[in-house]
Amino acid sequence: MQGVLEDALSKVFREPIQLTVAGRTDAGVHAEGQVAHFDTSAEFDGPKLVHRLARFLPKDVRVTGARPAPADFDARFSAIRRHYVYRLTTAPYGALPLAARHVVACKPVVDLDAMRAASRQLLGLHDFAAFCRRREGATTVRELQRYEWERHGDLLIAHVSADAFCWSMVRSLVGAVLAVGEGRRSPDWVGGLLTETQRSSAVTVAPAHGLSLVAVDYPADEDLAVRNAQTREMRTVPAPEGCCGD
C-alpha cells in the first residue's frame, strides 16, 4: 500500500514523495486507520488532495482525510498507541462471501471464557519475544494495554491495543489464544510464553487477512517532540522488586 500511495502522491504533486507510516503491516493485513506523513514543497490543500487521490488510487485503497501536520509530528515515532482488531467466525459454513476478505474461519465451538482468561495474562509491559519475528537490533519489549474478545453471533472480534507492536506480534497473540479456545492449550501455557527469550515454534501465526489496523493515537501537538524522543529509546522489562541482591 505504501508504494501505491507514494506513486499516486508523486503524480499529484509532480515531485518524488516518500511516506512515513504509523505501522508497517504484514502482507495481507488490512489498515482501516493507517496514518502517514510526507514532506512537499508544493501547495497543500487537504480536501482537494483527498478528492484528487481518488482518481489515482485502486479501488481497494482510499485516503479519507489529509491536513498539514505540526512541525514535530512523525506518523511512526509520535504515536502513543495503536489499535488492531482481528475477526474470526465460528459459523459451520465458514466466512460469508462478502466477509471472506477480512474474516477467518475457526472451529464452530470455542471456549471464549478460556480465551479471555489467556488474553488477560498477557496485559502489561513484557518481553514478547515468543510472539515476534526477531529483527536485528530491535527490542521486543512492548506494553500490551488491551486484549479483549467480544462475540456477535458467529463473529468473534479481538481488540488488541499497545504502545507499539513488533513484526507478526498481533497475529501470534491471536494464534496462541485461539489454541486455548479450541482446547489445544491451557490459558497458563499462554502466560508461560512470556518467560521465553526467542520466538516460540509452538505459537501458530493467525492468517493475515483477519487482522486490521483500525486506529492510531497521538499526543497533543505540544507533546510531540517529547514523545518522539521517548519512542526512540530502547526499552527493557524492569526487574522484579527484591531481585539481584536487593
Q: Which of these, 126, 150, 153, lies nearest to 140 by C-alpha position?
A: 126
- DSSP class of residue 206 equals P
Instruction: Show the CA angle centred on residue 105, arms to residues 207 and 96, nearest 5°.
Output: 115
Strand partners, 191: none
Residue 242's region, left for phi above 0, alpha for psi from -120 to 50, else beta, is: left
**Secondary structure (3-state) at 102:** coil
Q: Which residues are catalytic?
A: 26
Q: Please, are residues 19 and 6 in contact by the beta-carbon 8 Å criterion? A: yes
CB burial string 147-182: b at 16+ within 10 A, e below: bebeeeebbbebebbbbbbbbbbbbbbbbbbbbbbe
